[in-house]
Structure 1
Amino acid sequence: MPVRGLILPAFALFLAVAGTAGAEEEKVKDNIDCGYPLTNAERSFCADKALKEADARMQEAFDRLRVRLVEIDADLPDHLKGAPASLDEAQTAWKTYADKDCTAYSFPFRGGTRGNELYRNCLIVLTMKRTEDLDATVEDYAN
């Protein structure tokens, strides 16, 4: 059989094995206690999970604020409109700031697992703070 003829069966075997490994990995992840992660792998998994959750909460707060700013803009004269676009720009700038700030914070340790852990933890804290700020702004514009 030519080599090209082996590629498709080999790829199918790879996908089958990868699917099984993925299912087993998910079972293991379900058993990780993120309240007390013991290994570097567990700490990394839990930090990634916490960052995804913080990002999701921040996105929800951002979306609520953006909807409110669109509502407010609709009632303003043209020369005062633009809050949603400004919010979009601010969020992009905040993401750049957070990345650079956490890179600077973790930079001395970037060669090992500690650096990645510090970077993610920094992003989690900044993201939670940003979420609080977005929520507070939504409350400010509630009336």
Structure 2
Amino acid sequence: MNLPLSSFAPLLAAGLMAATAWPAGAQENIDCGYPLNNNERTYCADKALKDAEAAMAAAYVTLHARVVALDDALPDHLKGSPAALEGAQTAWADYADKDCKAYAFPFMGGTRGQELYRNCKIVLTMKRTDDLTATLEDYGD
């Protein structure tokens, strides 16, 4: 499978940020159902974003494999689904980043800006995962 690294750059960056934000032992004691302070809320939001991005990456990989299989069965003049999906995912990542920056921009001077940005990314990433999954279902088996 030939997946562009650019599709996963936002996932890797978020994973690194979340992995380095808290010492390993401190993470075990945080109840994300009831975070007590701003640091815990930040940790839980980072974790939610990381989980959403992992689910989206899994949906993307599954859909990509499916369009590669479909593409192989098509005549040459109809081939191109994998490249189209790769381009769409790259465009989506750029859109999501810019849209969430615009949404959070008025508050970027404080912690609220990062919270709004992260929450926006969580929502858009979950929506993108739903869209990728729905597309896969449209293609059937």
Q: Deviations over 1:48-76 (max 9, x none)?
A: 11101000000000001000000000110
> For residues 23 and 57 of structure 2, what CA distance do their matches in structure 1 show?
28
Aligned to 2:110: 112
Give % identity: 64
1:87 counterpart letter in structure 2: L
Where does the alignment leave 5 or more consecutive residues of structure 2 unmatched? 1-19
**TM-score of the aligned structures, taking structure 2 as reference length:** 0.83
**RMSD value over aligned CA atoms?**
1.3
Q: Report matched runs for 1:119-130 at 5 Å.
A: 119-130=117-128
Where does the alignment leave 5 or more consecutive residues of structure 1 unmatched? 1-21
> For residues 37 and 89 of structure 2, what CA distance do their matches in structure 1 show?
34
Q: Report matched runs for 1:1-143 at 5 Å.
A: 25-143=23-141
Question: Which structure has the bigger radius of gyration?
Answer: 1
1:34 is displaced (CA, Å) by 0.5
Counting matched residue pairs gives: 121
**TM-score of the aligned structures, taking structure 1 as reference length:** 0.82
> For residues 46 and 127 of structure 2, what CA distance do their matches in structure 1 show?
17
